[in-house]
Amino acid sequence: MMTGLFTPLVECGMARPTPPRSQKYLLPRSADAVGPQNEAEQRLYELIMQGLNSGEGTEYAHVDDFAAEFRARLQNPKR
């Protein structure tokens, strides 16, 4: 048992923080970085730009209409 101001996490019943398994999460992003820095960021950037440049969007009268179409697209992907 420890004496002092702080109680170890194990003694107070809290779990210990688990560091990420992948090293990519441990690397800080460069302060002067502009744009994607790796393949994952590049792919995400391309998907976002594809969506932004895909043309006019669809307007829905109600959220329920959008939700129904969204669910249908998830169940029947075109790929």
List the chain residues with pLDDT less than 50.
none
CB count, 10 Å around CB of 79? 2
User: Which CA distances in Å does 39 have to 8, 24, 36, 47, 60?
Assistant: 40, 12, 8, 12, 35
pLDDT at 78: 72
CA-based max dimension of the chain: 65
pLDDT in tens, 57-77: 889 999 999 999 999 989 987
CB-based contact 37:29 (threshold 8 Å)? yes
